[in-house]
C-alpha cells in the first residue's frame, strides 16, 4: 500500500510538471504567433495592423513566466515591440523589426516555438533575417514592392 501511495504521488507530480511545462510552451508559442502577425502586417505594408500586432505581442510577453524565458530577454523583446507599436511610420517599424527578429531567432534556437517547422529567412537587400511559419517568402522589410525577395537560410524543427 505504501508503494502504491508513493507511486500515485510521483505520478501526480509528473502530471503537474508536464501540465506546467505545456502551459509555458503555450505561452512561448503564442508569443511566436504574435510575432508572425507583426511580420505579416509588415509584409502587407499595413502600419496600423503592425502596431496592433505589436501591442498583442507586448501583452503576451508580459504574461510569460520568468522561469521559462529570462526577464532580460523578455524586456528586450518588449522594448522592440513597444517601439514598433508606437511608431507611425512603416519604415521605422521595419527598422525595429530587424532587432525584434534577431532576438526572436535567438529565442527560437533556445525554445521550441512551434510544433511545425520554423523557417529563418533572409533578405540580402535589407541585410536582415526574420522567422516564418512557412517556407514561402513574404518579405516584411519591403512589403509589396519586393515581397518575394529573400530565401530560407535554415529551418528550426
Burial 31-57 (b: 16+ CB within 10 A, else e): bbbbbbbbbbbbbebbbeebbebbbbb
Q: Which domain holds residue 61?
A: 2-113
Evaluate whether residue 138 is within a structural domain.
no
Residues of the chain short of pLDDT 70, as ranges, are: 1-24
Q: How many domains does the chain have?
A: 1
Residue-wise pLDDT for 104-123, tens only, equals 999 999 888 889 999 999 99
Amino acid at each position: 500500500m505504501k508503494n502504491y501511495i508513493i507511486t500515485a504521488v510521483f505520478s501526480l507530480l509528473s502530471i503537474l510538471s508536464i501540465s506546467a511545462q505545456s502551459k509555458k510552451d503555450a505561452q512561448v508559442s503564442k508569443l511566436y504567433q504574435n510575432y508572425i502577425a507583426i511580420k505579416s502586417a509588415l509584409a502587407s505594408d499595413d502600419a496600423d495592423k503592425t502596431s496592433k500586432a505589436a501591442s498583442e505581442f507586448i501583452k503576451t510577453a508580459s504574461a510569460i513566466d520568468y522561469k521559462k524565458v529570462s526577464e532580460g530577454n523578455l524586456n528586450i523583446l518588449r522594448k522592440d515591440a513597444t517601439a514598433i507599436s508606437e511608431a507611425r511610420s512603416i519604415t521605422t517599424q521595419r527598422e525595429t523589426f530587424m532587432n525584434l527578429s534577431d532576438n526572436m531567432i535567438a529565442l527560437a534556437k533556445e525554445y521550441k516555438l512551434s510544433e511545425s517547422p520554423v523557417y529563418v529567412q533572409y533578405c540580402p537587400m535589407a541585410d536582415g533575417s526574420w522567422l516564418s511559419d512557412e517556407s514561402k517568402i513574404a518579405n516584411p522589410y519591403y512589403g509589396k514592392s519586393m515581397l518575394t525577395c529573400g530565401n530560407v537560410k535554415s529551418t528550426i524543427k
